[in-house]
Amino acid sequence: YDDRDGSIWYNGALVPWRDAKLHVLTHGLHYASCVFEGERVYQGAIFKRDEHHQRLLDSARLMGFEVPYSVDEINRAAEQVIEANGITEGYVRPVAWRGSEQMGVAAQRNRIHLAIAAWKWDTYFTPEARLKGIQMRTSPWSRPSPQTAPVHSKASGLYMICTLSKHTAEAEGFNDALMLDYRGRIAEATGANIFLVQNGELHTPEPDCFLDGITRRTVVQLARERGYTVHERAIMPAELDRTDEVFITGTAVEVTPVNRIDDRHFTVGPVTRELVDAFDTLVQNPGTWDQHAASTPPAA
């Protein structure tokens, strides 16, 4: 990704894509003092822009550092990047990290850097997979407890679990991994939240040791508006035996059906189809986004 034309916003100014570099003794690289965001651009606008940039600031605070920019400043910077790179349909990647002033576990004096890149980007899975559903394999790695890691931070360090899980799944011919949590409950995919459909009602794990995704909250709201009951609760893998449909949600995957988890098979059914359509309609109509505040907390 480093050898291309374009501009990246780096600590306050646009720099040529190939020049957006950092030092090898960066604390963020050695000790994972780094947080990031992933955002989608539809028709030139960032979906849930303020929520993403607020989460970036919150993720950094959970890691013990302050990003030296406000949500408004990050909004403007991201818009500059989108415009400079001529993106109408794409992805935005802000990343903030501790710099290289101190080398060691302690890094209170290190400068906090912020960079924002953006690129044209299509769907995460192939159109065929999105239609027929993807196949998931349960990961040998599990999500840690909130006492082990800052699980509500979109912290780079937590993604080593995701990369290990994803590679294991792909090596066996699956599209993605299902991660259980430290208690053996269903948690999430490697870059997305998960929903089950049982008897026409939606069930999704309570996000107490992983991200409460912005897409997850949007889909909960879309489902409730359409009259569906949504349960947020503890879900054990054995329940997959009495589950009719499964789908995952996330900025990258949007709403993607799942047709298989390990040896269990699911149909891409009417509830999943309705929510895929509802989500696509929402994101493709930026004029309607304001009425749809995903910042509205989900009903208890």
Helices (H), the chain: 27-31, 49-62, 71-84, 127-132, 159-171, 214-225, 270-283
Residue 43 φ/ψ region, left for φ over 0, alpha for ψ in the -120 to 50 degree band, beta for the rest: left
Residue identified by tokens 């960032």 is 46
| Minimum gap (Å) between residue 216 Cβ and ligand PMP | 6
CA atoms of 276 and 159, how far apart (whole Å): 26
Closer Cβ to ligand PMP, 15 or 71, answer by number: 71
CA Rg, the chain, in Å? Answer: 19
CB of 184 to ligand PMP, least distance (A): 18
- Catalytic: which of 48, 120, 132, 154? 154
Name residue 204's beta-bridge partners: 232
The contact set with ligand PMP (CB under 6 A) reads 38, 162, 188, 191-193, 210-211, 213-216, 249-251
The CA-based diameter of the chain, rounded to the nearest angstrom, is 57
> Is 132 considered catalytic here?
no
In angstroms, give the least distance from the CB of 131 to ligand PMP. Answer: 21
CB of 55 to ligand PMP, least distance (A): 7
Q: What CA–CA distance (Å, rounded) separates 175 from 133?
A: 10
Instruction: Specify the residue, 221 or 251, whose C-beta has the smaller distance to ligand PMP.
Output: 251
Residue with CB nearest ligand PMP? 213
Compare residues 181 and 188 and give the one whose CB is closer to ligand PMP: 188
The residue among 99 and 207 lying less far from ligand PMP, judged by its C-beta, is: 207
Which are the catalytic amino acids? 154
